[in-house]
Every structure is written in structure tokens, then in C-alpha cells.
A and B are shown apart, each in its own frame.
Chain A
């Protein structure tokens, strides 16, 4: 017997920490790291839900999320490097949006 609430609480806290990191960090690479934390929190919820329901679907979607995270990080880092080449720093609050 397991108590699903333990991994669920872990995931909730991880997601909150990820949100905090995205809003708090100025460096674009650190923002991407915080996004990874949030994605992992969601994966943990998927897998825990599988354990409750005795099924496999959540694990399949966890794999999909991992693949999407890999694609996201690849494109995101290409953007960060492009930004660095243009402006010599990667602080997200100094990016001109217009």
C-alpha cells in the first residue's frame, strides 16, 4: 500500500518552486531550468495518478511530455544563444518586445 498524497504534495511544491523561479530569475538559462522543474512536477502527477488508477496512460503521457521538454529546451537554447549574439547578455527583462 502506498499513500499517493506524498508524491502529489512533492509535485505541488515543485510546481510552485518552478513558478517562483520563472518569475524570480533574470537569466534566460535559469528561467528554462525553472520551466523544467514545472514540467517534471506535472510528470510526477501523471505517474502518481497511474499508481492510483492501476493503468499506464499517465506514463505514456509522461514520455510525451519528456519528448516535448527536450524539443522545447533545444529551441529555447537556440533562441537564447541568438539573443546573446545580438545583445551580449541574456537577461529576460532587458529584451525589447516591440
Chain B
């Protein structure tokens, strides 16, 4: 039962991620929810780095922290959200806490049972080269389908936000 430095770091970063996620779903300030989301996603990016998935970590920083959060904050602004506290952000707590805690703790129990005492040696670094080789040797078709999906989403978003009736 030795706790290595890696484990301690991963536990600490995981605590930061979970704490920030709790803040995202419980804060009464819309803008602060977006900023807490930055903390949570950034902590997950650090966790990716600790698991040696370099490329994925930087993509996470670029796309999630860079694009998705900015998009969400734009939506907060465009829907004219108040800067201060909003009173009506939440629905009744009972079903949400029941289902949420059930899912989270159930999954945690499942993982504890399945991987509780598993150890892994440090994995190979997930550099851009390795990830690219895997994509373009084994997963070319999903990659291409995904590019079509992105195009469809692009067109869909433009059509949806046009001013006049379609």
C-alpha cells in the first residue's frame, strides 16, 4: 500500500476537478458557473498530462478551455443574463440529487470492485505522432465521418441562427 508521488498528484488534481464541478452545478451566478467550468476542465487536462496523454491534454486546453467555454460565455451574454445572482436557476433538488448521487456512487462502487487494486506501469507517452499513427492506421473511417459531422453541425448552427423563417 504505497502511495507514489504520481498517485498523490492525481488525487489532488482529481479533488480540484470534483470541487470545481460541484461549484459549476451549485453556484447561483451564471458567469461564475462558466469560470468554474474552466477550473474543472483545466484540472482534467492536468490529469490527462499525468496519465501521459500529452496531445489529448493540449487539445483539451485548446478546444474546451479555448473554444467551448468562450462559446458558453457568449451564450450567457447573448441571452442577457444578469451579472449578479439569479434566483431562478434551479429546479427541485430531490430527484436530481437522488439520480445524480445514485449514478456517481454506483459507478464509483463498480470501478472500485473492478479496478480497486489494479496497478499500471507508466504508459507510453501519447504524443501527437503516436496518436496520429493510430488514427490514420486504424480509425480513418470514423475520422472522415467525423469531419462530415462537423460540417453538418456548422451548416446546422448557421441555419438555426438565421434571422428569418426557414
Hey, which bits of chain A sit against chain B, CB under 8 A? 1-21, 23-27, 29-30, 32-34, 36-37, 40, 43-44, 47-48, 50-52, 54, 56-57, 59-60, 62-64, 66-75, 77-82, 84, 90-91, 93
Contact = CB atoms under 8 A, between A and B. Distances in A.
B134 A23 contact: no
Contacts of B51: 2, 7, 47-48, 50-51
Given A17-B22, A19-B99, A60-B131, 13 more contacts: A2-B4, A6-B14, A10-B18, A18-B21, A33-B24, A51-B52, A51-B120, A56-B134, A59-B56, A68-B149, A77-B71, A77-B157, A78-B157
B83 interface: no
Nearest to B116: A5
A68 B155 CA distance: 15
Which among A20, A44, A84 has the highest number of chain B CB atoms within 10 Å? A20
Interface in B64-110: 64, 67-68, 71-72, 74-76, 78-81, 86, 88-91, 93, 95-97, 99-105, 107-108, 110
A42 to B, nearest CB: 11
Q: Is the interface of A mostly helix, strand, loop or mixed?
A: helix
12 contacts: A3-B118, A6-B10, A7-B47, A33-B37, A37-B21, A51-B122, A56-B126, A57-B138, A59-B55, A62-B56, A66-B60, A77-B74
Q: Interface majority SS on B: helix, strand, loop or mixed?
A: helix
Contact of B79 (A5, A25, A26, A84): A84
Contacts of B22: 17
A53 B117 CA distance: 15
B122 to A, nearest CB: 7
Interface string B41-71: 1001001100111011001100110011001
B119 A13 contact: no
B71 A74 contact: yes
B160 A24 contact: no
Nearest to B8: A6
Contact of A29 (B75, B123, B124): B75
B112 A25 contact: no
B116 to A, nearest CB: 6
A7 to B, nearest CB: 6
Nearest to A33: B37
B64 to A, nearest CB: 7
B135 A63 contact: yes
A21 to B, nearest CB: 3
A64 B59 CA distance: 11
